[in-house]
């Protein structure tokens, strides 16, 4: 289980995360949501040990994530960022297989795993030889996901993975992602600023504000029992959700 205990982090004068306690239960999907600069991306980077907390601790299955342990622990966590974060000098296959190469897997084993992942993410095998600039935005994101899944990690951390995509591709990929999360039974932490997306994915939704957890619960809790005025305003601000998803609101 991935957990953050009393974690705080500042960058210069800006306090990005303030005393956050969060635990992510195995096989559940948690969505971190909030306005820009609320600290949601920083939480993911803290989890990976890309930045070190000023206070508090991050643990994966009881093992502290710090400068020394991070390189090994990162192999048990997959990380996907907006637009995939693909390396432009490597084709799709090499992007996915980079860690396998580093760990000196046999070529055959790597190839099998890549093909397996391309079927899982519905990425066309014929496009594996293409470079990132030759792929569409949705395809790049699928490659990013394949790369994150290569070592079959227990935890998947996704930082606004769909933000750069147009609505149709986005909806298609949302379906695909949810299917994959359920099929693989991963502990998923997904960052978004879109409440509709949070509702679609999240077993649990964590609303952050100025580096603090404002409310944590199901989407139903947030809509029906907002903890305070800010949560109410945040929910109401998502007009499209309210108009198109009025039924969903009532159902809840």
Partner 1 sequence: MKRERCGLRRWRVAAALAIWECILASPGDAAHAATPVFIGSKQFTESVVLGELATALVRASGGSAQHRSQLGGTQVLWQALLQGEIDLYPEYTGTLEQEILKGDGARGEAALRTALASHGVLMSRPLGFNDTYALGMKASRARALGIRSISDLRRHPELRFGFTNEFMDRADGWPGLRARYALPQADVRGLEHDLAYRGLDADTLDVTDLYSTDADIAYYHLQILEDDQHYFPVYDAVWLMRADLKARAPAAVTALTRLEGKSDAGAMAAMNARAKLQRVPEARVAADFLSATLGVTVGSQEPGRAERILHRTEEHLALVTVSLGAALCVALPLGIVAARRPRLGAVLLAGTGVLQTIPSLALLVFMIPFLGIGGPPAVAALFLYSLLPIVRNTHAGLTGIPAPLRESAEALGLSPRARLWHVELPLASPSILAGVKTSAVINVGTATLGAIIGAGGYGQPILTGIRLDNVALILEGAVPAALLAVAVQALFAGAERWVVPLGLRLTHRD
The site for partner 1 (CB under 8 A) is made up of 45, 48, 50, 71-72, 74-75, 77, 79, 81-82, 85-91, 98-99, 101-102, 131-135, 147, 151
20 vs 156, beta carbon nearer partner 1: 156
Look at strands 187-192 and 29-34 and give their pairing: parallel
State the nearest-atom distance from the C-beta of 122 to partner 1, in Å: 20
Q: Which two tokens stand for residue 147?
A: 């790369």
State the nearest-atom distance from the C-beta of 102 to partner 1, in Å: 5
For residue 208, list its beta bridge partners: 34, 213
State the nearest-atom distance from the C-beta of 90 to partner 1, in Å: 6
102 vs 250, beta carbon nearer partner 1: 102
State the nearest-atom distance from the C-beta of 159 to partner 1, in Å: 9
State the nearest-atom distance from the C-beta of 56 to partner 1, in Å: 20
The full length of the chain comes to 252
Which positions ≥6 away from 104 have C-beta within 8 Å?
none
83 vs 111, beta carbon nearer partner 1: 83
Please name the residue that has the structure tokens 């396998």. Answer: 100
64 vs 217, beta carbon nearer partner 1: 64
Q: Give me the sheet containing 29-34, strands edge to edge.
A: 77-81, 155-159, 187-192, 29-34, 204-209, 212-217
Conformation bin of residue 179: beta by default, left when phi > 0, alpha when psi is -120 to 50: alpha
State the nearest-atom distance from the C-beta of 107 to partner 1, in Å: 16
3 vs 69, beta carbon nearer partner 1: 69
148 vs 199, beta carbon nearer partner 1: 148
- CA distances to 89, 139, 222 from 134, rounded to whole Å, are 12, 10, 41
Contact of 227 with 214, CB cutoff 8 Å: yes
74 vs 204, beta carbon nearer partner 1: 74
State the nearest-atom distance from the C-beta of 224 to partner 1, in Å: 37
């Amino acid at each position: 289980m991935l957990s953050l205990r009393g974690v705080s982090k500042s960058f210069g004068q800006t306090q990005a995360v303030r005393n956050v306690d969060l635990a992510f239960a195995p096989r559940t999907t948690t969505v971190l949501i909030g306005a820009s600069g609320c600290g949601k991306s920083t939480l993911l980077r803290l989890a990976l040990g890309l930045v070190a907390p000023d206070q508090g601790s991050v643990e994966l299955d009881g093992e502290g994530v710090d400068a020394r342990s991070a390189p090994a622990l990162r192999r048990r966590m997959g990380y996907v960022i907006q637009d995939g974060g693909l390396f432009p000098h490597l084709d799709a296959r090499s992007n996915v297989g980079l860690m396998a190469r580093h760990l000196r897997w046999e070529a055959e084993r790597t190839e099998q795993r890549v093909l397996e992942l391309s079927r899982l993410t519905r990425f066309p095998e014929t496009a594996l030889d293409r470079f990132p600039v030759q792929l569409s935005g949705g395809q790049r994101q699928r490659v990013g996901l394949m790369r994150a899944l290569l070592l079959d990690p227990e935890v998947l951390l996704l930082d606004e993975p769909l933000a750069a995509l147009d609505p149709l591709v986005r909806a298609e990929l949302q379906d695909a992602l949810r299917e994959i999360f359920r099929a693989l039974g991963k502990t998923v932490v997904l960052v978004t600023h879109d409440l509709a997306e949070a509702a679609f994915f999240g077993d649990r939704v964590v609303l952050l504000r100025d580096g603090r957890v404002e409310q944590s619960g199901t989407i139903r809790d947030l809509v029906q029992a907002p903890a305070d005025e800010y949560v109410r305003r945040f929910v109401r601000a998502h007009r499209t959700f309210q108009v198109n998803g009025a039924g969903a609101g009532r159902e809840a």
